[in-house]
Amino acid sequence: MKFSRKYLYIIAVIIISGILLPMKVNYRVTSAGRVYSEKEWELARTEDGRITSTIKDHLLGIISAYGGREIKRGDIFDFELEGGILQKKYIKKGEKIGRLYSNDLKRLIVQLEGELAVEKAMYDVYATGEKPQTVSEAQSSLTLAKENFDIQKKLLERQKKLYEDSLIAPQDYDKALNDYEVSRINYELAQAKLTSISTGEKPEQLKLSKEKIILLENQIRGLKDRQGEMEITSPFSGILIHKKGRNAALEILANVVDTSRFIIVTPVQLKELKYVKLGQKVTLKLFNSDCEMEATIVEIDNAIQVINGKQAVYATAIMDNNNKCAEILPGILSMTVINCGELTVFEYSKRVMEGLFYR
């Protein structure tokens, strides 16, 4: 009986106040949210050796761009960060972050450049008709080139075994491979010169040699273009994030967050949802400072979730002025106050009562 009388008194006060007091009050929904950058770029290496580039759109909740480079099995490659990049607080769009180095690609370019040098030397012989060396001199050069080639071949076999047993660094094996390729190219060049001196030039060889030179130049140009594509640049301006405790399946090489615009995601209890609308203003107060910011609601989820034991949905707001608070960082928590507009005392009291009886 006392319980019923208590609520009757409250209802009576609400009715009288609503009639007698014409003033209005602001109705606010208070919660806590988390700040995100609108976009985030992550460069990573997977367990199977692929290099992935991912752009996450936190506003839409999707991955807006994804790319990957698969390194050929057995290839020796490194990712090298640009010097001093980790000491920077801010990264500009298009700024070089680092570069991928592929041993196979580098070795192939060296091999083709060697073949090009051989072919150009032979073309000069065919074009001028001159004999740059006597047969005996050419034979001596060939003998020396063959001896060096055999030595480099044996060194490579020894370095390969040491590398497979993890006894030397990849760079040492890489150097042995390059030295072997140079010796092989010199050996082939000596063979070609001896053949030219011994047999004499043929008219049709000039045309074939020219065509081969053009083909080799095109191949080298294409490989160097591909090598240039292995330079990694930031897709947008932002801050370089250093975060520990990441996913063990991914090795994060670089992580840049776009600071041009931030968003805040905050839960709204189901009982308050009908009062929250798109376009309403949200006041944010960061937990690590006294700075306040304002945002505008741009999205309200349509999926119910249980948060702290209560039914709720997430609302997303875009911050109106990102530069007002220097302390703002992606992932920081903030108190949020959603301004739901002015109400009369009667309407405000009615909402309060609805909250008391809401289950």
Q: Two tokens at 113?
A: 């450049």
How many Å apart are CA 159 and CA 193, to the nearest integer? 31
Per-residue pLDDT of 159-200, as tens digits, reads 888 888 878 877 788 788 878 878 887 887 777 777 766 665
101 or 221: which carries more pLDDT confidence? 221
Q: Output DSSP code: residue 184.
A: H
Task: For the chain, give every domain's residue range.
Answer: 24-37+261-342, 40-95+234-258, 103-229
What pLDDT score was predicted for residue 188? 79
Greatest mean pLDDT among 9-23, 76-90, 110-124: 110-124
Residue 96 β-bridge partners: 233
Mean pLDDT, range 306-323, rounded to an integer: 83
**pLDDT value of residue 198:** 64
- Report the C-alpha gap between 345 and 24 in whole angstroms: 6
Distance (Å, rounded) from C-alpha 244 to C-alpha 246?
A: 6
Tally of helices (H runs) and strands (E runs) in the chain? 6, 15
Contact yes or no for 219/122 (Cβ under 8 A): no
Instruction: Quote the DSSP letter at residue 326.
Output: T
Is the pLDDT at 322 greater than 60? The verdict is no
Place of tokens 């014409």: 22
Give residue 74's pLDDT.
47
Q: Residue 43 in contact with residue 53, Cβ under 8 Å?
A: yes
- For residue 158, give the 3-state DSSP assignment: helix
Residue 1: per-residue pLDDT: 44
N- to C-terminal Cα distance for the chain? 22
State the fold for domain 24-37+261-342. Answer: Elongation Factor Tu (Ef-tu); domain 3 (2.40.30)
Rounded CA separation 108/47 (Å): 26
Q: Is 53 exposed, middle or buried (0-12, 13-18, 19+ CB in 10 A)?
A: middle
Encode pLDDT of 221-247 as tens digits. 877 777 666 778 888 888 888 766 556
Q: What are 191's two structure tokens?
A: 């063979």
Segment 56-95, tens digit of pLDDT: 888 887 777 666 555 544 455 566 777 777 778 788 888 8
Q: What is the residue-averaged pLDDT of the chain?
A: 77
242 residue type, one letter: H
Looking at the whole model, is its pTM more than 0.95? no
